[in-house]
Amino acid sequence: MHSNQAGRCFTLCLAVLLLGAPMFAKTRVAKQPFGQTPDGAAVELYQLSDGKIEARIITYGGIIVSLRTPDRNGRLGDIVLGCDTLEQYIAQTAHFGGIIGRYANRIAHGTFHLDDHTYSIPKNDGDNALHGGPRGFDKVVWQAKEIPDGIELTYVSKDGDQGFPGTLNTTVRYTVNGGALRIEYSATTDKDTVLNLTNHSYFNLKGQGKGDILGHVVKIDASLVTPLNADLIPTGEVKPVEGTPFDFRTAHAVGERINADDPQLRLGKGYDINFVLPHPGELAEAAEVYEPSTGRILRVRTTEPGLQFYSGNHLEGPIPGKAGRVYNFRSGLCLEAEHFPDSPNHPNFPSTELKPGQVFHSVTVYEFSAGTR
C-alpha cells in the first residue's frame, strides 16, 4: 500500500472510531437575568448541563432552582422543590435549595460563647436561631463567575452580620460533571468565629410537586444519631440507631416507620435529626435514595461529619410551587451534609470554630442514576 493510501485509510479508520466512541460533552454554562431584589440588586440564573443532568442556580441565596435528572426510561424531570419567581423566593420561609450559613441548623437560645465572649444571633425559630438567623446566606445576593464545569459564588459577610464575629469570605463552587452535582465550600475569617455551611434542597425523585416522599427508599451509612430535646436542640448525647426507626443502615421506605411510637419522631413530627457519619474528613458515601416508580437513584457523598435527614414535616401546604404545582406535607426530603446542630454549645461535638489563618473546606456530591431494584 502506498503511503498516501495508508494515510487516507488511517484517517478514515480514525473517523469511524471517533464516530462510534461515546462522546463526553463538556459541561455547558449559560446565564440569563432572574430579576432584581427590592433594593435593586440584579439576580442572575446560571444553567449547568453536562448532557446527563441539568442544574439551574440563581445568585440570590445560591439557590438551586431546578435539577433535571433522567428516570429509568431516560425522561428528564425536575426533582427539587422551589419557586417560579425571585419574589416568591424572597417571600418563602422553607429555605428551598439555598446555601445555608453562617450556621446551618439550630443554635440554642440564639447564643454561644467563644473566647470569653457571648454572641447573640437573632432568634427566628422560637427561642432558637435557625439557619444563620432571619437573613442567612440564602437571603443575600452572591457574586458569580464561570469556572470549568460550573460557577463560583462568593460572598463577604461582615463582622457582626446576624451577630456572628469576624468578617467571613465564603466561596461556594457548583459544578456538574458525569451526572453528578458537586458543591465545594471554602471560607476564611479575620476573627475567631463559628461556621456551618450546607445546601437545603428538597428532593422528590418522582418529580417536584408529584406527591409525597413516603415511598422513597432511604439508606444512611450511620450507626449513631444526636437525640433532641423538646426544642429540637441536641441533648449532647450520641445514641445508637439500632432497634429504632432511625436505623437506615439497611434500606427502608421513609413512610415505613415514620409514624412509629418513638419520642424523637414525635418531637420532629417525622424525621428531622442529625446522623453521625463514620468517615468525617473523607469524601465518603453517606446516603442513598431510590424512588421505585421512576427508578431514580440519588447518592450523597460528603466530607462532613453529620447528615441532617429531614422529611419535610413543616411543609404545611398548600404551598405554591413551580409550574403550577402545589407542595403539601412531606412533599420533599432534605439530606443536609453539615456539622452537628448547636455544636458551639456542645464541646463533645466536632468543632465548628474557624480561626484567622485557617481555611474551611468541605465537599458534598449528589450523584444521579436510574435503574430497577
**DSSP per-residue letters across 341-355:** TTGGG-TTSPP-EE-
Omega within 30 of 0 (cis) for the link into 102: yes
- Distance CA(222)–CA(236), nearest Å, equals 17
266: CB partners within 8 A, 6+ apart:
none
336 is catalytic: yes
Active site residue 200: yes
User: What length does the chain have?
Assistant: 373
**Residue labelled with grid coordinates 419535610:** 312
- Which helix or strand (DSSP H or E) is residue 264 part of? helix 263-268
SS3 for 87-140, per residue? HHHHHCCCCCCCEECCECCEEHHHEEEECCEEEECCCCECCEEECCCCCCHHHC
Q: Report yes or no: 249 and 220 within 8 Å, Cβ to Cβ.
A: yes
Contacts of 359 (CB under 8 A, 6+ apart): 186, 187, 188
Given the residues 44, 54, 288, 336, the one annotated as active site: 336
Chain center to CA of 279: 19
Q: Which residues contact 34 (CB under 8 A, 6 or more apart)?
A: 43, 44, 45, 58, 59, 60, 86
Closest by alpha carbon to 173, among 157, 198, 151?
Answer: 151
SS3 of 358, please?
Answer: coil
Of 54, 95, 131, 200, the active-site residue reads 200
Task: Report the candidate in 93, 333, 98, 320 with the shortest Cα–Cα distance to residue 212.
Answer: 333
Kindly list the catalytic residues. Answer: 200, 336
